[in-house]
Amino acid sequence: MTGVPRKSIPLLFSAFALAGPACGGSESPPAQPVVDASADDGQVAPDAEAGSDVLEASQEAEASQNVDAPDAADAPADAAPPYAHCAPVAPLPVWAETPGTGHALIAHGPLADLHVSVLDDGTARLQYAPKGTTLPPDRAWAVTKSLPQDPAAEVTGTLEGAQVCTKWLSIQVRADGRIKVVDAASTVLMEDPAGGGWSQGSQPQDGGSPTSTVRVVRSTPPDEVFYGFGERTGPLERRGQHMVFWNTDSYQSAYGGWAPGTDPLYESIPFFVGLRETRAYGVFTNNAYRLEVDVAKAITDQYAIEAWGGIVDQYVIPGPTMAEVLQRYARLTGPAALPPRWALGYHQSRWGYSPASQLEQIGQEFRDRSIPADGLWLDIQHMDGLRTFTWDPATFPDPAGMIQALGAKGFKVIAIEDPGIKQEPGWSVYDTGLAGDHFLRKPSSELYVGVVWPGPAVFPDFTSQPARDWWGMQVGKEVKLGLRGVWLDVNEPTVFPESGGGSVPNDVPVAGEAAPTTMAEAHNVYALQEARATFEGMVQNAPDRRPFILTRAGFAGIQRYAAVWTGDAPSSWESLQQTLPMLLNLGVSGVPLVGSDVGGYSGNATPELFARWMALGSVSPFFRGHVTNGVPSQEPWAFGQEVEDLSRDLIRQRYELLPYLYSTAADSAENGSPILRPLVYEFQSDPTVYHLDDEAMVGPWLLVAPVAEKDATQRSITLPAGRWYELHSGAIYEGPTTLQLTMTLAALPVYVRQGAILPRAQSMMWSDQQPIDPFTLEVYPSTQQSSYTFYEDEGDGYESSSRITYTLHQTATGAHLSAGPRQGTFQPAPRTLLVRVRRVDHAPTQVTWDGSPMQQHADENALMQAKLGWWYDARDLSVVVAHLDTAGFALDLTYDTSIPELRPPVDVEFEVSVPAGTPTTTQVHIATSASAWAQLPLDWQTPPDKAHGFVSLPRGEWFFYKFTRGDWDTVEKWPGCVEATNRYGFASAHPVRKDTVFTWRDWCP
């Protein structure tokens, strides 16, 4: 028998550079970060100097499980395959060919020709061309680069057909066209059932003839779970769902936004991550036409993907971890843009801030109330006649002056721009667009005119480079006024009902990049291309700043240009409950910078609802309050003192964590990792978290569990395997476990994963108010070594950046933290480094820096005055070390590492101001729920207008309390002698709880 032919596919295309331009050479992402995190459960996040290293390490590990590939020459029939996960080798069938033109294999099936190619990172591309047709040209929309092929991919026959065999995957094709894809562990990732695979069909259209469709049907085992699919209401895990991919403004007046369970919404991202046998893989369907996806709903052991035009073009992305899948997906569709640091601060918006003086007053309120904020946003009310790229001369007569004045107080101004351009001859924006032929036209060549906010309007063809250049020029004028960001809305695109429909008709022609097409194909990418045009215009006109863009609509690849928010979310509990899984699935869909309208868009939120949404917003990647017009104010101070205070605390915590959030965002730009990620991303081998969608991880270290139930006083929290520390108190919980905890209105449970190296800053009123000094690392040593690469730069621009990798582990005699060299050109100003080590239940006997003993200080004040040495915080059970911040150090602590009690009581410090005239002959007392309301005396301070003391309370728990003068007849009252409700607090060593008593019961009538 003659040898079986095999071919190695040559490297045909130039490499895609993760740090290079994502589109047409116009993007210039800054230097990128790397995160390496590990914890006691043994799951280790990628350790990489560059984004591809994690893939290479995984590839070597996977390949080591396989036999060495035999010589391709003269392999006999039924010979061993090149790798163990590939099918036995047989002669190549006559219906299969190896063209060597960028496709490893073309399998000529009875209904379609399947073109198979494999990229050099193991991603396989499957393109189905119906019989008698050729593949259409690639459009640079989602996938903007030609990626190199795998030069070692081998094509062979099998006993059932043909296969492409690589060290990552085996793509097997049968004579009837059905396929099977197997990964390096021999796990079947994709398989067509009998009667399944590729087929053609049709779907009815409103008011027209049926449209032709193409579809694929794949098998799914009963335990497979699915994540992603872009912006979706409903549960995190998507099995049992039917989804439509068609960007839609789904506003319903009855809800003041989208209704619970609405589908579709504004974003269409046809990408999912599946888990089979705990191994992850991804599938991206590269088709911009309307899609419908049924995930085991119609038939419980199958999923189907149907496109209303074009071809089935799918990328099958191997793992085996979700992190590796998303890294490959980011390489395919382009890395996320790293936002300026201020974009991660708090933002305030509403439809209705007008005139300019009102916006300036809002900014002043934030500063006067000491609530941190970075961004102030303007909706359409700032425009002249609701026309895009204009300012109302009556209400905003000097936009540049207003922006400059707000900038002096630390605020950046962001304004909305809609795609509909008012049809108004004589207006320069319309006239120049018309002269350049940049607007959509009907098949008859007449301008397409739809009704939007300013009335009859025309729409740019964003698939045309000249139209994008024109739009970018208009954006540039706004940027030169001082705008620091652009907000893109109603860009599905939406037109009002009087236009005869909800969007631009499908038959409207567009340029289409590689070849002309219609809005039937371009509808879903309209917003993507608008964001591209906006991004390019901002780069061109402000090259020393990173663009910040927020978009409502988008498609796969939108992360290259913009952040995304969940649109018109009603102010309801149902909407709040759906928000976290929506954000998580967007993150798994490759869009890391995501958020929602805090408080809900429709307005009239209750104080409780706003407080709970504020907590969720504070741990969301993008953090903005927004509300519609004609409803009550929805700023943090609009709901009473309690909500204002807790909002201030939540926002301050956000700003203290900005170094961590910014470094995590930079890792997203490098590796495709979500900022806000489902627990399954970090704990992929734990099935108990597969459907958990009311908790999340922020980066690799923090588990957050926002409260989203009305009137909640208890919260169930799942902690996966490993040791967890409550963020504020250091209380320890051993996972896996489920907690049932008391919750107050201010509660936002946050737990730190053991092994964490958590960078923090001092609280600021805005993100770049002052340099970070001191720079704090909170570290939680584990017996398993962990490491974290901290990214840092100027906070904007592209000039310089740097990274330092810290390594941490608990030793037999204490703990060791080391810092590698600073890599990169950014050098922060001299500052103090504070290292807080948790938990240390026994005072250290020695602390050394690079081998030299450090001085112990008696208290925190002495340490901060010296800025060198260490202090044992006996109440917090931690050690604080101070030193000049530098790279390349070794810090060693010697102490007894035993933990006698996981959650020992903590002495909480109280300071209470009392009303003038309070007699000093009796002591002020405090009564707490933790002491069964027994009244404990506090000490008078000098002068005698304050009382002070420590109360032992259960560490890491909420408690309630009141002040008295020794008996309940003298209990405190609110102003006006109103009955005082119970105060509440959280039991941690810091900060001091400072309260004010307004009056006493025995002083009231």
Give the C-alpha separation, 595 to 592, whole Å: 10
φ, ψ for residue 912, nearest 5 deg: -125, 130
What are the strands of the beta sheet with 972-974, ordered from one edge? 978-979, 972-974, 999-1000
With a cut of 60, say whether residue 15 has pLDDT above it. Answer: no
DSSP state of 880: E
41 or 294, higher pLDDT: 294
Strand 972-974, strand 999-1000: pairing: antiparallel
CB 816 within 8 A of CB 881: no
Model confidence at 943, pLDDT cuts 50, 70, 90, reads confident
Domains and their CATH numbers in the chain: 53-191 (no CATH), 197-333 (2.60.40.1760), 341-419+462-640+668-676 (3.20.20.80), 701-902 (2.60.40.1180), 906-1003 (2.60.40.10)
Model confidence at 501, pLDDT cuts 50, 70, 90, reads confident
What tens digit of pLDDT does each residue of 762-804 get? 999 999 999 999 999 999 999 999 999 999 999 999 999 999 9
With a cut of 70, say whether residue 243 has pLDDT above it. Answer: yes
What tens digit of pLDDT does each residue of 662-701 get? 999 999 999 999 999 999 999 999 999 999 999 999 999 9
Considering the chain, what is the average pLDDT of its residues?
92
Determine the pLDDT at residue 499.
67
Mean pLDDT of 863-878: 98
Model confidence at 498, pLDDT cuts 50, 70, 90, reads confident
Who contacts 428 (Cβ-Cβ below 8 Å, separation ≥6)? none
Model confidence at 5, pLDDT cuts 50, 70, 90, reads very low
Which residue has 């009310």 as its token pair? Answer: 381
493 prior amide bond cis, ω within 30: yes
φ, ψ for residue 997, nearest 5 deg: -90, 130
With a cut of 60, say whether residue 840 has pLDDT above it. Answer: yes
With a cut of 50, say whether residue 359 has pLDDT above it. Answer: yes
Percent of the chain's residues with pLDDT above 70: 92
What spatial distance separates the first Cα and last Cα of the chain, rounded to whole Å? 109
Comparing 10-14, 27-31, 266-270, 925-929, which segment has the lowest mean pLDDT?
Answer: 10-14
Give the C-alpha separation, 238 to 359, whole Å: 42
DSSP state of 850: T
In 3D space, the residue among 664, 2, 766 whose CA is nearest the CA of residue 343 turns out to be 766
Determine the pLDDT at residue 304.
99
Cα 879-759-853 angle, rounded to 5 deg: 35
Comparing 35-49, 530-544, 560-574, which segment has the lowest mean pLDDT?
Answer: 35-49
974 or 15, higher pLDDT: 974
Determine the pLDDT at residue 80.
80
With a cut of 60, say whether residue 531 has pLDDT above it. Answer: yes
- Active-site amino acid positions: 489, 492, 568
With a cut of 70, say whether residue 49 has pLDDT above it. Answer: no
CB 749 within 8 A of CB 728: no
Give the C-alpha separation, 724 to 755, whole Å: 10
Count CB atoms within 10 A of the CB of residue 505.
Answer: 18
